[in-house]
A = this chain, B = another copy of it.
Amino acid sequence: MKLYGYWRSTSSYRLRLALALKGLAFDQVPVHLVRGGGEHRSDAYRRINPQQRVPSLILDDGTVLTQSPAIIEYLEETFPLPPLLPADPIQRARIRAVAAIIGCDIHPLHNVGPLTHLRERFSASEDEIGRWVGRWIGEGLSAVEALIEDGHTYCFGPWPSLADVYLVPQVYAARRFGSALASLPKIARIVDYAEAQPLFRAAHPSRQPDAT
């Protein structure tokens, strides 16, 4: 499999984690989102993913999959072990709710496109950008903090689940944006533990070939 992504992109990080936790080998093709106006806007990348976003996963038969939530569900269905979702439907729904809070209510609002629009079209200052980003991260992660279970190593038990695959990259982004995690003790503890584990360490943005 071949992963087109960007070291610092939250959704690329998410997908690297899912692949790593499932023990799947993949080659990386870096797509620089800033250099030269963004390599994702090139004709070459448009032929791979017409939406011109990262990540894209190319299967060994050449099939192109896009959108990290869809790709991760594909991986879970096609490579069920180790599982990122348990068998119980209610617990699956709770874990997917955490993923949706991060994937729908937080990450899209601090993605590069909206922030560029705010700077260029609304003349947003960096302070205003910080308050915008801080609001969605703060509200969203507070909701996650309330949903995850207490007393576990990971969000929902002793093994990482889909919730951790979304949470760890989101907390990496939160720290980049300077958001405080002081009021989120469960999240801070889980992410500190996860980031120290070998599979999570290998997927960290700073360890990617295109990291600068």
Contact = CB atoms under 8 A, between A and B. Distances in A.
Interface of A: 50-51, 53, 63, 65-71, 73-74, 77-78, 89-90, 92-97, 99-101, 103-105, 107-109, 114, 117-118, 121-122, 124, 128, 131-132, 135-136, 143, 146-147
* Number of this chain's copies in the complex: 2
A67 B128 contact: no
A100 B66 CA distance: 9
A158 to B, nearest CB: 22
User: Taking chain A's interface residues, is the majority helix, strand, or loop, or is none over half, making it mixed?
Assistant: helix
B90 A63 contact: yes
B122 A128 contact: yes
Contact of A121 (B63, B103, B131): B131
A51 B122 contact: no
A155 to B, nearest CB: 14
A135 B103 CA distance: 20
B128 A69 contact: no
Contacts of A132: 117, 121
Given A50-B146, A69-B100, A109-B109, 7 more contacts: A53-B105, A65-B90, A78-B89, A104-B108, A105-B108, A114-B136, A122-B124
